[in-house]
A and B are shown apart, each in its own frame.
Chain A
């Protein structure tokens, strides 16, 4: 059964499927907001400094304003691994729809088309577009072939809690085995009471409840994982 999810699957030339998690409009709006705050703080601070230089300073400030208005996201997206400061703050990243990093041309297109996404004001077109498309793409994303994804948390080696391996008393399907392993890997992050409560669900299999049941379930995980 295919679960209902926003995951976008891409197939690589090596023939495996990789999963991306597109980011919705609300979190992107926050990232946009953070970017705007950073940009305007920068423009105001530089403006105060450049004001001492008279017309020369004003000219430099015009150039800064131009760069901030049009090219700030492009530079950060291409050179910063798909992340402006706001996206970095909220763990978002811009990628091509096939999972590759975004290049100069697509980044320029998606950012210039903010003009269209901003119509008729307050990013209405962009918002409607993100709500209507499957991968939360605004018009600029559709045209450039990009999408904004949630950055995955760091890659960590899974750790199974120590327990005496116990062979399951029933033949388990692959999904069931996988569920037991997933539970065991996550259990260090639960409180003891919560772990036991969840292990109680398997009491027909483990034949015990409470701490004893948990120990048996963790033992089965250990066994399935390959411990002897």
Chain B
């Protein structure tokens, strides 16, 4: 068949598809897939018969745009995100409990270790903190220092913004550096654990229990579990790179990154919640510190129950 005749016969079908792409529908939605398959056939025929390159190129671009439109992923929206948080994330955490446990051990293990050591011998704090740093922490939680909440709502917003920028940024960094054979989480988690444990023990030694525990307890569960999850996500990626199993290294890495990114997404949500509490609740001077600790413990319990029990039923 000559090209002219071919073009004449099918021009209308191509223009209909083009119109569908440009949101001026001349086709019913149910007619699009058959028309698209027809177009693919035309493209193959045009190539085989060596019709003019401009025609082939035109058909191939039309097919490419339709391919992208037809096979594009559609986001699941807010409902999908909520279902992910309620079902899929806890399931995945339980499914990858070994990695989460390693990540948790790296973080909480070093945290508790540093805490016990510095409690036993207060001078050991200077292994982790310079004297100036230690003094700054003491000054920060001194009851005579005005706490964040006492300085008005605008300062709360400022601290909230800072916590988002800093803490979620740290989550991202821990995750991404996991690609380097897991070195990122293996370094950042113990480092932050040692630092946190040393500070906690030092302030306890100085007798600043009320201000310190009052401040950290509200958001601690969200922030620390968020850190552990981003670490587990990074380890997932690094482990897939080093130990691909039966798949090719690239395929294993892609799969690992996708799974890790899901853990990271959970971590980001938790860290965001932590920043909300840290900015607007933790510094609030009106609530007695014991009440704040009680609330903090309640959150720890709820988060643990969520990770252990949510999404066990139904699919």
Contact = CB atoms under 8 A, between A and B. Distances in A.
A144 B58 contact: no
Nearest to A118: B176
B191 interface: no
A58 B54 contact: no
Contact of A226 (B4, B43, B173, B237): B4
> What size tier do the contact residues of chain A reach?
35 or more
A13 B197 CA distance: 56
B44 interface: yes
A6 to B, nearest CB: 16
A5 interface: no
Contacts of A101: 68, 72-73
Interface residues of B, number: 64
Listed residue (A55, A59, A101, A225) with the most chain B CB atoms within 10 angstroms of its CB:
A59
A55 B164 contact: no
B64 interface: yes
Secondary structure of the A contact surface, majority rule? helix
A15 B154 CA distance: 60
A142 B250 contact: yes
B157 interface: yes
Secondary structure of the B contact surface, majority rule? helix
A124 interface: no
Interface in B35-51: 36-37, 40-41, 43-44, 49-51
Interface string B20-64: 000000000000000011001101100001111111001011111
A15 B44 contact: yes
B60 A19 contact: yes
B257 A144 contact: yes
B176 A59 contact: no
A87 to B, nearest CB: 15
A70 B54 contact: no
B261 A157 contact: no
A112 B158 contact: no
Interface string A184-228: 110000000000000000000000000000000000010011110
Given A63-B161, A143-B257, A152-B61, A158 B52 contact: yes
B71 A174 contact: no
B310 to A, nearest CB: 21
Interface stretch (A25-33, A38-46, A175-183): A175-183
A204 to B, nearest CB: 22
A222 B283 CA distance: 81
A20 B64 CA distance: 9
A165 B118 CA distance: 95
Listed residue (B6, B51, B75, B262) with the most chain A CB atoms within 10 angstroms of its CB:
B51
A18 interface: yes
Given A61-B161, A225-B52, A18 B63 contact: yes
Contact of B165 (A65, A99, A139): A65
A226 to B, nearest CB: 3
Contact of B158 (A18, A56, A160, A174): A56
B235 interface: no
B60 A18 contact: yes
Interface string A137-180: 00100111100000010011110100000000000001101100
Contact of B50 (A63, A155, A175): A175
B269 interface: no
Contacts of A115: 172-173, 176-177
A19 B36 CA distance: 17
Interface in B257-315: 257-258, 261-262, 264-265, 279
B50 A116 contact: no
A174 B49 contact: yes
A14 B63 CA distance: 10
Contacts of B126: none
Contact of A144 (B37, B54, B154, B254): B254
A178 B52 contact: yes
B168 interface: yes
17 contacts: A14-B36, A15-B44, A18-B60, A55-B154, A55-B155, A56-B153, A63-B165, A70-B169, A99-B64, A106-B258, A108-B261, A109-B258, A115-B177, A143-B254, A155-B58, A181-B52, A224-B3
**Among all A-B residue pairs, the 5 with the closest Cβ atoms:** A226-B2, A226-B4, A62-B161, A158-B54, A59-B161
Given A58-B158, A114-B176, A158-B58, 15 more contacts: A14-B41, A59-B159, A59-B160, A62-B165, A99-B64, A99-B67, A105-B262, A116-B180, A142-B250, A143-B237, A143-B253, A155-B61, A156-B58, A158-B52, A226-B4
